[in-house]
Amino acid sequence: MTQLRIGIIGQGRSGRNIHAEFLKNIPEKFKIVAVSDYLADRCQRARDEYGCEAYQDYREMINNKDLKLDLVVNSTFSDLHAPISKEIMEAGLNVLSEKPFAQTADQVKELIGVSKRTGRLLAVFQQSRFAPYYRQIQKVILSGVLGDIKLVKVAFNGFARRYDWQTLQCHNAGGLYNTGPHPLDQVLGFIGRDIIPNVWCKMDTVCTLGDAEDFCKLLLSYPGRPTIDLEVCSNTNFSPYTYLIYGTYGSLMGSMTHLDWKYYIPAEAPAIKLEKDPLPGPSYCSDKLVFHEDHWDVPPEDKDLFNSMAARFYDNLYDAITNGAALAIPPEQVLQQIAIIEECHKQNPLPKKY
């Protein structure tokens, strides 16, 4: 089995705690040979923990041909994702960018163009596409038991007073750019990845100490497609569901670990007809539907949610680099997501303070 040589830019929460700590456990596929971080203590920590080279200037790493890097993970500040991903491909290397992929749709288009021109692989860490609860919801919907899906409500909410760089507009931060790519990537699978939907969005700065939004209500619609109602908010203590789905035969509600769905079977339903005249007596409509119920609990092998998603994502990425397999999440699909986020910010120009 080919062992891919990995370089990682950034040794903060994403670069170290997410990517490096995951990759070190699958040495048969990946080897961390170099990292970069502008903080000297993080570089020394990486040398001690991974036995790799470390550089305070990422350009030294990506231009060092002796490292023979197969892939560079771009875990820099969010506003640097697009320009540094471009530099990595220009240096002749494949790149995996953390989310958000970019700030604007035009930046994404430019990156796709650079990827085609240089022949380098361009991937985005949208691992939530592989979430076990999302895959189960897709399975239920595709089974048809809920009928036609009319509304998908998603809430990635909590209560937190954040105060790091992820609260600053100057770093392309805020809830929708930071947390939003996960649920957005999922719900676009319901409304369709082939269109740019109509967008309505309301943002605000509520609990954060920075100037980026931590409250976002987003509605997506398109003729003939399900309506999407998405919340990414940091000012609610109550999260009764992650997903709530309305269909013509039934509905589904649940969290990342448990789902319930209830539906009727049309062939079992009693016949009814429209009555335009008043119903006789003190009566009301009576529809005696028999509802079927089903449930899902996250299986033991998927209870570690992050590792479950990351393993499937990195397996696909490994196959793409070593065998030429298609990326499960190509950058063209992420372009749709960034275009929607860009429109949300155009509708909600928040004052920049920092």
DSSP secondary structure of 58-90: HHHHHT-GGG--SEEEE-S-GGGHHHHHHHHHH
Question: What structural domains does the chain harbor?
Answer: 4-125 (3.40.50.720), 129-303+338-347 (3.30.360.10)
Q: What are phi and psi of 159, to 5 degrees?
A: -130, 120
pLDDT value of position 52: 97
Kindly give, in sequence order, each residue whose CB lies less than 8 Å from that of residue 84, ignoring residues fewer than 6 positions away.
Answer: 9, 58, 74, 76
Report the relative pairing of strands 215-221 and 53-55 from DSSP bridges. Answer: unpaired
Question: Is 343 within 8 Å of 199 (Cβ atoms)?
Answer: yes
Tens of pLDDT, residue by residue over 30-46, are 999 999 999 999 999 99
C-alpha to C-alpha distances, 286 to 246, 262, 270, 278, nearest whole angstrom: 21, 19, 10, 14
pLDDT value of position 279: 82
- The tokens describing 24, both together, are 């070190």
Tens of pLDDT, residue by residue over 315-331, are 999 999 999 999 999 99
pTM (global) more than 0.85: yes
pLDDT value of position 101: 97
Give the integer Cα–Cα distance in Å for 226 and 228.
Answer: 6
End-to-end Cα spacing for the chain: 49
Give the integer Cα–Cα distance in Å for 86 and 148.
Answer: 42
The parts of the chain modelled with pLDDT lower than 70 are 282
Question: Is 169 within 8 Å of 354 (Cβ atoms)?
Answer: yes
pLDDT value of position 282: 66
The DSSP secondary-structure symbol of 335 reads H
Question: Is 43 within 8 Å of 56 (Cβ atoms)?
Answer: yes
